[in-house]
Amino acid sequence: MLTRSCWRSKLAYFLISILVLLWFGVLLKHQPERDSLLVGEAVREEQEQVETVGEKLLSLNSSDQHSVCLVSSCNSVEMATSAVVIWLHGLGDSGTANVGIKSLFTAQFMKNVKWLFPNAPVQRVTANYGAYMPSWFDVGELPISAQSPEMEAGVMKTVESVHAMINKEVEAGVSPDKIFLCGFSQGGALTLASALFYPETLAGAAVFSGWVPLNPEFISKIPAKAKQTPILWLHGMNDNIVDFKHGQAGPPLLEHAGVGCEFKAYPGLGHSISNEELSLLQEFFGRRLGASSSKE
């Protein structure tokens, strides 16, 4: 027969076990959602068997907390580079995980395009309760809306790193008007800021589910040549990470600043990239590279 003290011990153990389970449940519930990039089975299959030919790792400013690691890949190693695409991933993602996306661009004029997939530095993110994760700059909260605080100082610091990538390609002989910036979510916001403050005209910038990560005063600081860089902005209307209305407010602001921007909304699309958007991006590449048809 159990004594009273024994019953108390068992009851205490039971209550402690319940509290531990509840604590773990709270932790799991509050894990932040990572930016998702969904572009169909073709990309996932390609990511599982990423080709190693023509790929290499290199670093920029390795002593700086804003340094990035690049995965570079050319569609062809036999011919000279015709253009460069720098793809900037979303919060919590990596450039390495996005390498397979280039396999979806099959037009003839894309054959000798060089792709760069930078990896964001790992740093504390306020929206992630101060925990470390891959991030181009600090994000104050999720979802991102018009009321979200802008972390402009961090954005502009990372813009310098993106400009360093561009300058490296220019030094290698690629004209700025043959260099594209593309980005998803946080990478889209960085793409926009980097294109708007580069001193030369780029081939173009594509923003997927992004936002303007700058205070309104930035309009007066855009270099004249940067205003000639065309912007392609695509956003899903069911986005639950970057509020659609917040993203939609960006293009009119750019137009007011004298920057040409093509905007398209996708009903039913959440925080991801569709194959339809990527087809439109390939057409954008073709127009900017002077191809007579995106199917060439």
At residue 112's C-alpha, the angle toward residues 161 and 61, to 5°, is 15
- Among 6-20, 169-183, 255-269, the range scoring the smallest mean pLDDT is 6-20
Please list the residues that pair with 80 across neighbouring strands.
Answer: none
Q: How many CB atoms lie within 10 A of CB 268?
A: 8
Label residue 70 by pLDDT band (50, 70, 90).
low
Domain ranges of the chain: 40-288
Place of tokens 């959440």: 270
Dihedral angle of Cα 83, 165, 207, 97, to the nearest 10 degrees = 90
Average pLDDT over the chain, rounded to whole?
81
Summarize pLDDT for 28-40 with one digit per residue, the tens: 444 444 444 544 3
Euclidean distance between CA atoms 83 and 169, whole angstroms: 10
Dihedral angle of Cα 69, 155, 64, 175, to the nearest 10 degrees = 60
Summarize pLDDT for 199-248 with one digit per residue, the tens: 999 999 999 999 999 988 888 999 999 999 999 999 999 999 999 999 99
208 phi/psi in degrees, rounded to 5: -110, 120
In the chain, the percentage of residues whose pLDDT exceeds 90 is: 65
Residues with active-site annotation:
185, 239, 271
40-288 folds as Rossmann fold (3.40.50)
CA-based nearest residue to 120, from 132, 97, 136: 136
Label residue 80 by pLDDT band (50, 70, 90).
confident
Summarize pLDDT for 166-205 with one digit per residue, the tens: 999 999 999 999 999 999 999 999 999 999 999 999 999 9
Place of tokens 């604590």: 23
